[in-house]
Every structure is written in structure tokens, then in C-alpha cells.
């Protein structure tokens, strides 16, 4: 059994998912969809920064282009922390291709000329 707060709308229903994936506590059907996906395959977009050289700014922001499994956040951060880019960089530049073979790239989210 797991307890969740629904994030689909401001109401924030307190959901309970039992071992048979029955959802209770939801005000509307969207709560069920949210709860099932959270207990079966929770995913998150990771946003962070990477080192940047050749710039007055020592960091540039990045994100995983698509959500990755929640369980992989720590491992992806370790990869992100190893990367160093050189200015100029622009939005969409690939910082890490196919990070940890998850099929997702880590991409730059800011334009920095110098």
C-alpha cells in the first residue's frame, strides 16, 4: 500500500493505492491515472547545471530532454557532474548523449556566448 498526494490539480487529493493497484481518495479519474503511473513507473525530468569553461559564467543549465526513471536520478547526476562544456553554448546542445543508455540526452537549456 502507498499513500500519494495527487499533483494533477490544486486540490491535492490524498490518494491510497493498495497492493492490487486499487486507488482511493481521488476526487476525479485523473487521480487514478496519476497514482498508477507513480507506483508502477515513476519518472522525472532532471534539471541541473554543468561546468562551463571559456566563460564569465562557470555553470550552464541543463536538463534531461525527456523524463527518466526516478530511480536513476542519482546516477544521472553523477554523470552530469562529470561534464564540462566550453562556451559558446546554446539551448539544445547535447551535454551527454544517451545518458546511462536510458535513451535520453542531457541538453543545454541556456545560451551563453562568452
Q: Compute the least distance from the CB of residue 73 to another protein, in Å.
A: 7
Cα-Cα-Cα-Cα dihedral sign, residues 86, 61, 48, 69: negative
Q: Compute the least distance from the CB of residue 78 to another protein, in Å.
A: 10
What does the DSSP assignment read for 75-91?
A: HHHHHHHH-EEESSB-T
Nearer to another protein, 24 or 84 (CB): 84
Nearer to another protein, 57 or 86 (CB): 57
Pick the closest to residue 95 from 87, 103, 105 (CA basis).
105
Q: Compute the least distance from the CB of residue 20 to another protein, in Å.
A: 23
Nearer to another protein, 81 or 98 (CB): 81
List Cβ neighbours of 26 (8 Å cut-off, separation of 6 or more): 6, 13, 15, 32, 35
Beta-carbon-side half-sphere exposure of residue 4 (alpha carbons within 13 Å): 25
Nearer to another protein, 22 or 28 (CB): 28
Q: Compute the least distance from the CB of residue 101 to another protein, in Å.
A: 21
* Binding region for another protein (CB under 8 A): 4-7, 9-12, 27, 44-51, 57-59, 61-63, 70, 73, 77, 81, 91, 109-111
Amino acid at each position: 500500500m502507498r499513500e500519494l498526494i495527487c499533483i494533477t490539480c490544486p486540490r491535492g487529493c490524498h490518494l491510497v493505492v493498495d497492493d492490487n493497484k486499487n486507488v482511493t481518495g481521488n476526487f476525479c479519474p485523473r487521480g487514478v491515472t496519476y497514482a498508477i503511473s507513480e507506483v508502477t513507473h515513476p519518472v522525472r525530468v532532471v534539471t541541473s547545471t554543468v561546468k562551463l569553461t571559456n566563460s564569465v559564467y562557470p555553470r550552464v543549465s541543463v536538463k534531461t530532454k525527456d523524463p527518466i526513471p526516478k530511480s536513476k536520478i542519482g546516477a544521472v547526476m553523477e554523470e552530469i557532474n562529470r561534464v564540462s562544456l566550453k562556451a559558446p553554448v546554446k539551448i539544445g546542445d547535447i551535454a551527454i548523449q544517451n545518458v546511462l543508455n536510458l535513451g535520453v540526452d542531457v541538453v543545454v537549456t541556456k545560451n551563453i556566448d562568452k
